[in-house]
């Protein structure tokens, strides 16, 4: 069984530990801690990277923007 938890270090508390204990009981578990970089993840795919870079250029040039009316 594998479970991934993604949270901020500041969110670690006794409730989190209790959830892990409830999920895994007395089974041996391995905890691996790594920093998650969303930018690196999003730029990993060439297609996604190109799409994001085009979107940044569109914002800079104020082109192809979609406006959303939050009242609707």
Cα separation values, 33 from 30, 41, 63, 69, Å: 10, 17, 41, 40
Regions of the chain where pLDDT drops below 50: none
User: What is the model's pLDDT at position 39?
Assistant: 86
| Cα 48 from Cα 37, distance rounded (Å) | 15
User: What is the model's pLDDT at position 35?
Assistant: 85
User: What is the model's pLDDT at position 72?
Assistant: 76
User: What is the model's pLDDT at position 42?
Assistant: 87
User: What is the model's pLDDT at position 14?
Assistant: 95
User: What is the model's pLDDT at position 40?
Assistant: 84
The model's pTM is 0.49
């Amino acid at each position: 069984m594998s479970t991934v938890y993604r949270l901020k270090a500041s969110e670690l508390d006794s409730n989190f530990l209790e959830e892990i204990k409830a999920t895994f009981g007395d089974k041996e578990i391995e905890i691996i801690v790594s920093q998650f970089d969303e930018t690196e993840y999003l730029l990993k795919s060439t297609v996604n990277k190109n799409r994001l870079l085009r979107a940044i250029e569109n914002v800079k040039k104020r082109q192809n923007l979609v406006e959303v009316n939050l009242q609707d």
